[in-house]
Amino acid sequence: MSSANDAQFDGPSALLAAWRAGLVGQPCWGVIAGAGTGSHFSLRLGEKIPLRRPLRNPSLSEDERRFDGRFRVFVQHCAWRLERGAEVLCASTSDNADGGEMLSGLAALRGAVVERCDVAAPAQDLTIGFSGGLVLRVFCDQIERDNWSAGADGSPVVTAGAGGRLVVEA
């Protein structure tokens, strides 16, 4: 299986392609979202990498406090939707309070395995298909701010930036 660490990078597109290839087959075990974060959320996937210093946030699970994921996704500022079949579980405008629609919907991703990952030009819309018929759709509708970022342990982060521009951050 290829990973972002194994690729020779010619720029953001090659880094993103390597990240996408490595993401397939990885389980999602961490979902960080909630009141105070707005529509922003992050996913932790794949191997659990110990954090140098555990987090103290009591809203996180023990694993989320102690580990980072080999693969990570951070969605910010843009519209997104989580679906299962014909049902919308939650979206960027859902209630993100404890017990709200956003947190209960995103919780369905815990334990789901990535089956596919697509990025569509020109805006870099992200679609991640998971086991159990779950599909996360991220719509890059921000032309002046970042939309989402993706990273793998040991590799730079690639961001779907303003206006559909891919940017590599060390």
Per-residue pLDDT tens digits for 85-137: 999 999 999 999 988 999 999 999 999 999 999 999 999 999 999 999 999 99
Entry field: residues in the chain? 170
What whole-number percentage of the chain has pLDDT above 70? 94
pLDDT at position 160 over 80: yes
**Cβ atoms of 111 and 28 closer than 8 Å:** yes
Which among 161, 160, 158 has a CA at the least distance from the CA of 169?
158
Is residue 71 within 8 Å of residue 19, measured between CB atoms? yes
One-letter identity of residue 39: S
Which SS3 state, helix, strand or coil, does residue 131 take?
helix
Tell me: pLDDT of 6 over 50.
no
> 120 and 127 in contact (C-beta within 8 Å)?
yes
pLDDT of 49 reads: 95
Can you tell me the distance from the alpha carbon of 162 to that of 140, in angstroms, rounded to the nearest whole number?
A: 8
Cβ(168)–Cβ(156) under 8 Å? yes
Largest CA distance in the chain: 44
Tell me how far apart the alpha carbons of residues 160 and 100 are, in angstroms, rounded to a whole number: 28
Q: For 22-46, what is the mean pLDDT?
A: 94
* 168 class by beta-carbon count within 10 Å (0-12 exposed, 13-18 middle, 19+ buried): middle
Of the two residues 3 and 76, the one the predictor is more confident about is: 76
Q: How far is it, in rounded angstroms, from Cα 74 to Cα 11?
A: 20
